[in-house]
Chains A and B, each alone.
Chain A
Amino acid sequence: MNKIKNIFLAAAAVSAFAACKTEVKTTEPTHGSADFSRYVAVGNSLTAGYADGGLYLDGQQNSYPSIIAKQMQGAGGGTFTQPLFSADQANGSGYITLTGFDQNGSPVTAPVTSNLAIRGVVNIPSFGNVTTYTKYTGDINNYGVPGIKLLHITLNTYGNLNGYFERLLPGNAGTNTTSYLDFVTAKPFTFFTNWLGNNDALGYATSGGAGDVLTDKATFAQLYTLLLTRMTANGAKGVCATIPDVTSIPYFNTVTPALILANVQKANPAAQAIYINAKSNADPTGTAYAARPATANDLITLTFPTSKIGQPVASAGNLPYGLTPLTPIDNQYVLDANEVAIVKDYVTYYNNTIKSVAASKGIAVADMYTFFNDIAKNGLVVDGVNLNAKFISGGLFSLDGVHLTPRGYAIVANQFIKALNAQYNATVPLANVAQYRSVKFPN
């Protein structure tokens, strides 16, 4: 009897201690010399929360600016409104999902085509077709516009050429005359992040150096200075980010020449090389291209349809595609070694510009170039998760191989927060990376 009573006593004693909390003192969030009461984000698709080849609600809700704004809440951050797609048009532009793996372990994807926010397609004279999306009206803190280059920020007609920008403007495509720079600076703000400039190099790179041109260096410097002058005109502080080395992303490192060759050799062991149509020199203005065997220094895009390899090419005497100097892989699928050198040279220039202009204005810099290069080389371990720059399995990049997963965006948000904390002597708390997902796998 006594023993039972004593066990009850002991149990009562234990439950009493359950109420004791282990005392923990944490750092109070502070804003330092910055003011987060109205934070705006300027940038492209990465800023908008673009992922898996599209802009959709889930991606928007995990955009790095929204994560930063959430972390700023305790340090005087104000409300942060994003131009979200509505719940019944949650799939926005549409995107791709992973549906499984084939017998080789290759990922199989499918487009999401329901619940889109597509309004229509408008033909803009001397430009082409522009897809438009359901208009957004209301306050905006996240000005991320997929596709925008630094080159475009002063263009009055840009609201007619980019459906994602048109979506934010009151007028319909064809009637807009507001430049991006005027639009984002129309309403006063106290703090900004700026991650523009990626597309000035990425557009050229992802088209294999064939479908787009690199923004002129002097133009880049002039526009970046203009941008920061305008952004800081009313005393706002902020963070600028450098441009990652576009060749370090899975879009260029997943399908490799060696891999294609190995696949060919399974059927035809005698195959010696695959051929590409490559730039003859590293002069950006040069136009000479010639076929040659691909090497490890040539990058094949993730979008290259590998099923084309070996198909007879009628215009070249039915020689197999990609396997002879007469039937090389088309330029648009290859960022060859010379093109890589050109892109690297431009990105280095752009980043030096970003760093020096930001420094001249006393603005913090989040060095994404160095950060992502380090990840590509060494990987990154966060909260017990091994991350790297590999396609799908790396955890950072979404299914398009260019844009990030929510976990990738959370890591980017933390890089911004670290930079602003250091520059402005603030203590904005870091986001919990483990709380954000990587690529979704089908059940």
Chain B
Amino acid sequence: MRRILLFLVTFLPVATFAQGFQVNLAGQKQIGMGHTGTGLAQDGASVFFNPGAVAMLSQNSIQAGISPLLFKSAFNPAGTNDIYRTSNEVGTPFSAYAVWGPKASFWKVGLGVYTPFGGLTNWGNNWEGKYVVESLNLKAIYFQPTISIKLADFISIGGGFVYNHGEVDLSRAIPLANASGQDGQAELKGSGKGYGWNAGVYVKTESGVTVGLSYRSKVKTTINNGDAFFTVPGSLQASFPQPNTFSASLPLPATTTLGLGFYPSKKWTVAFDANLVSWHVYKALEFDYAKNTSALQDTYSPRQYRDAFSLRAGTEYRPVNKWAIRAGGGVASAAARNGYVTPEVPDAKRYYLTGGLGYTLANRLDLDLSFEFEHLFARKQTNIESQLSGTFRSNVYIPGVSLSYHW
């Protein structure tokens, strides 16, 4: 049965990787108000929303919050009545801020640690798209020291430097069956870093309306020497050398936000934010393996994202001294174009509704609770690269809690 040659393993682990899934969970008060806050000077979360407003904060503060996130996505392959669902795994976006300045001074410094991008999607290893992705865990943690200066009573500016620590853990099946018919497995796991900056300006107008404009730069995050694990049938292992490493870079996009604050009464705040995320920087995803073979080539996956926007509104009412109730909502456009939606991040147009409750636990100590429900509109897609075809439907449930101490 000897036959001339002929075997080149040509199974490319076609790279698919998540878009940086944008997570808008940067402060419990702001979540409760529909993610508004750029035009307000509410608390330490201004470090994120608008560093220009930090100098206008009346107090020094330290705060930390967490928003356990449950992303529930379902996929119905085209032409079938099958339904696949992501498993119930809880992401943990968090935020922590510290703001300090001398009393009645014209400046303040701040530090923010927050997770503006991330994704946690686990479709399991037995679903129709397993060769595209089984699971993805992507985290970006930004560390942002900030300084803010009050130029006059009505205007302040601020800016910060951003260091990003990114982590990725991506698994997918490889269509190479072993003697018992089981698939191979690929796992790419690594961490990397990136740098950026942000800046903002905050203005109190004569009419009492407050206005904020902030910009967060692109953060190009580079992963070097990530681990590339390939489990394949023993007779093919030579084509997938182990150990192996990969490098990749992922541009996390710039964000520009304009925010407005209105104060109909002493107890009542209304806020609006308009937000533009410059996703167009995410053109493609490339994986560069340290060891290549005819079967394991470096890969290039087009993404071709387009800029996305969101419009948000929120309100806070303080009926009595110790309590605050908040509500808000917004809509957001999709960054992934038709044909480029992937199951790691089944991007789609979406709306969200939020609510929140603030309570003064003790003098100087606040507790804030938030809840968000986010609905992504059903999106029927055939991915150009993988030809995975079907309809994605997703809902996101995000409760959250934070504590702040201020003085």
Q: Shortest Cβ distance from B105 into chain A, in angstroms?
A: 31
Is B82 at the interface (CB under 8 A from chain A)? yes
In contact, B74 and A17 (Cβ under 8 angstroms): no
In contact, A443 and B4 (Cβ under 8 angstroms): no
In contact, B233 and A24 (Cβ under 8 angstroms): no
Interface residues of A in 377-426 (CB under 8 A from B): 381-386, 390-393, 395, 418
In contact, A438 and B177 (Cβ under 8 angstroms): yes
Q: Given A6-B367, A24-B74, A432-B77, do A441 and B236 touch, yes or no (CB 8 Å)?
A: yes
Q: Closest residue of chain B to A405, judged by CB?
A: B177
CB neighbours of A263 from chain B (8 A):
4-5
Q: Given A2-B367, A391-B6, do A17 and B387 touch, yes or no (CB 8 Å)?
A: no
A17 to B395, CA, bound (A): 10
Binds B, one of A173-181, A185-193, A252-260: A252-260
A17 to B400, CA, bound (A): 13
Interface residues of B in 225-268 (CB under 8 A from A): 232-236
- Which of A2, A20, A259 is the one whose CB lies under 8 Å from B5? A259
Q: Provide a sorted-by-A list of 21 A–B residue pairs whose CB atoms are within 8 angstroms.
A: A2-B361, A6-B403, A17-B397, A22-B72, A22-B74, A24-B83, A24-B393, A74-B81, A100-B235, A106-B2, A254-B3, A302-B3, A306-B4, A384-B131, A385-B131, A386-B10, A432-B128, A435-B126, A437-B183, A440-B180, A442-B234
Q: Given A430-B77, A432-B80, A434-B129, do A101 and B177 touch, yes or no (CB 8 Å)?
A: no
CB neighbours of A430 from chain B (8 A):
77-80
Is B181 at the interface (CB under 8 A from chain A)? yes
A155 to B80, CA, bound (A): 41
Interface residues of A in 244-272 (CB under 8 A from B): 254-255, 259-260, 263
Q: Given A102-B2, A106-B5, A383-B388, do A14 and B397 touch, yes or no (CB 8 Å)?
A: yes
CB neighbours of A439 from chain B (8 A):
177
- Which of A20, A74, A386 is the one whose CB lies under 8 Å from B11? A386
Is A9 at the interface (CB under 8 A from chain B)? yes
In contact, B81 and A106 (Cβ under 8 angstroms): no
In contact, A13 and B399 (Cβ under 8 angstroms): yes
Name, among B175, B180, B183, B387, the residue most crowded by chain A CB atoms within 10 Å (CB to CB).
Answer: B175
For chain B, the bracket of interface size reads: 35 or more
Q: Given A23-B393, A383-B388, do A10 and B66 touch, yes or no (CB 8 Å)?
A: yes
Q: Shortest Cβ distance from B257 into chain A, in angstroms?
A: 27
A434 to B127, CA, bound (A): 8
Interface string of A89-122 (1 = CB under 8 A from B): 0000000101011101111111000000000000
Interface string of A223-255 (1 = CB under 8 A from B): 000000000000000000000000000000011
In contact, A395 and B85 (Cβ under 8 angstroms): no
Is B70 at the interface (CB under 8 A from chain A)? yes
In contact, B81 and A27 (Cβ under 8 angstroms): yes
CB neighbours of A24 from chain B (8 A):
74, 76, 83, 391, 393
Is B130 at the interface (CB under 8 A from chain A)? yes
A392 to B395, CA, bound (A): 42
CB neighbours of A105 from chain B (8 A):
5-8
In contact, B387 and A381 (Cβ under 8 angstroms): yes
Q: Shortest Cβ distance from B402 into chain A, in angstroms?
A: 9
In contact, B178 and A440 (Cβ under 8 angstroms): yes
CB neighbours of B26 from chain A (8 A):
none
Interface string of B159-184 (1 = CB under 8 A from A): 00000000000001001111111010
CB neighbours of A21 from chain B (8 A):
72, 74, 85
Give the A-B pair count, Cβ closer than 8 A. 191
In contact, B132 and A383 (Cβ under 8 angstroms): yes
CB neighbours of A432 from chain B (8 A):
77, 80, 82, 128
In contact, A10 and B68 (Cβ under 8 angstroms): yes
Q: Given A3-B403, A432-B82, do A96 and B2 touch, yes or no (CB 8 Å)?
A: no
Is A314 at the interface (CB under 8 A from chain B)? no
CB neighbours of B81 from chain A (8 A):
26-29, 74, 429
In contact, B82 and A429 (Cβ under 8 angstroms): yes
Interface residues of B in 357-407 (CB under 8 A from A): 361, 367, 369, 371, 385-388, 391, 393-395, 397, 399-401, 403
Q: A381-B385, A432-B82 are in contact. List 17 more A-B contacts (CB 8 A).
A: A14-B399, A17-B70, A18-B70, A18-B88, A20-B397, A105-B7, A106-B5, A108-B1, A260-B4, A302-B3, A383-B128, A384-B130, A393-B11, A434-B128, A440-B179, A440-B180, A441-B178
A18 to B88, CA, bound (A): 6
A382 to B7, CA, bound (A): 22
CB neighbours of A106 from chain B (8 A):
2-7
Q: Shortest Cβ distance from A237 into chain B, in angstroms?
A: 20
A100 to B90, CA, bound (A): 43
For chain A, the bracket of interface size reads: 35 or more
Is B221 at the interface (CB under 8 A from chain A)? no
A104 to B391, CA, bound (A): 45
Interface string of B328-363 (1 = CB under 8 A from A): 000000000000000000000000000000000100
Interface string of B54-91 (1 = CB under 8 A from A): 00000000000010101011101111111101001010
- Which of A11, A109, A434 is the one whose CB lies under 8 Å from B1? A109
A residues contacting B by CB (< 8 A) are 2-3, 6-7, 9-11, 13-14, 17-18, 20-24, 26-29, 74, 96, 98, 100-102, 104-110, 254-255, 259-260, 263, 302, 305-307, 381-386, 390-393, 395, 418, 429-430, 432-435, 437-443
Q: Shortest Cβ distance from B388 into chain A, in angstroms?
A: 5
In contact, A255 and B4 (Cβ under 8 angstroms): yes
Interface residues of B in 299-315 (CB under 8 A from A): none
Q: Given A384-B132, A434-B129, do A11 and B68 touch, yes or no (CB 8 Å)?
A: yes
Q: Give the top 8 A-B pairs by smallest Cβ distance, nearest first.
A: A441-B233, A384-B131, A17-B397, A384-B386, A384-B132, A26-B81, A429-B80, A13-B399
Q: Closest residue of chain A to B72, judged by CB?
A: A22
In contact, B2 and A306 (Cβ under 8 angstroms): yes
Q: Given A22-B74, A384-B14, A439-B177, do A305 and B2 touch, yes or no (CB 8 Å)?
A: yes
A39 to B349, CA, bound (A): 44
A109 to B2, CA, bound (A): 8
Q: Closest residue of chain B to A74, judged by CB?
A: B81
In contact, B175 and A26 (Cβ under 8 angstroms): no
Q: Shortest Cβ distance from A32 into chain B, in angstroms?
A: 14
Is B12 at the interface (CB under 8 A from chain A)? yes
CB neighbours of A302 from chain B (8 A):
3
Is B151 at the interface (CB under 8 A from chain A)? no
Q: Closest residue of chain A to B342, judged by CB?
A: A384
In contact, A392 and B83 (Cβ under 8 angstroms): no
A13 to B67, CA, bound (A): 11
Interface string of B123-143 (1 = CB under 8 A from A): 000111111100000000000
A10 to B68, CA, bound (A): 8
Q: Shortest Cβ distance from B365 into chain A, in angstroms?
A: 9
In contact, A384 and B11 (Cβ under 8 angstroms): no
A381 to B389, CA, bound (A): 11
In contact, B3 and A107 (Cβ under 8 angstroms): yes
Interface string of B85-108 (1 = CB under 8 A from A): 100101000000000000000000
Q: Shortest Cβ distance from B375 into chain A, in angstroms?
A: 9
Name, among B1, B78, B131, B393, the residue most crowded by chain A CB atoms within 10 Å (CB to CB).
Answer: B1
CB neighbours of A11 from chain B (8 A):
68
A21 to B85, CA, bound (A): 9
CB neighbours of A443 from chain B (8 A):
178-179, 233-235
A299 to B72, CA, bound (A): 53
Q: Shortest Cβ distance from B347 into chain A, in angstroms?
A: 15
In contact, B175 and A438 (Cβ under 8 angstroms): yes
A29 to B3, CA, bound (A): 46
Interface string of B37-64 (1 = CB under 8 A from A): 0000000000000000000000000000
CB neighbours of B131 from chain A (8 A):
383-385, 434
A381 to B78, CA, bound (A): 15
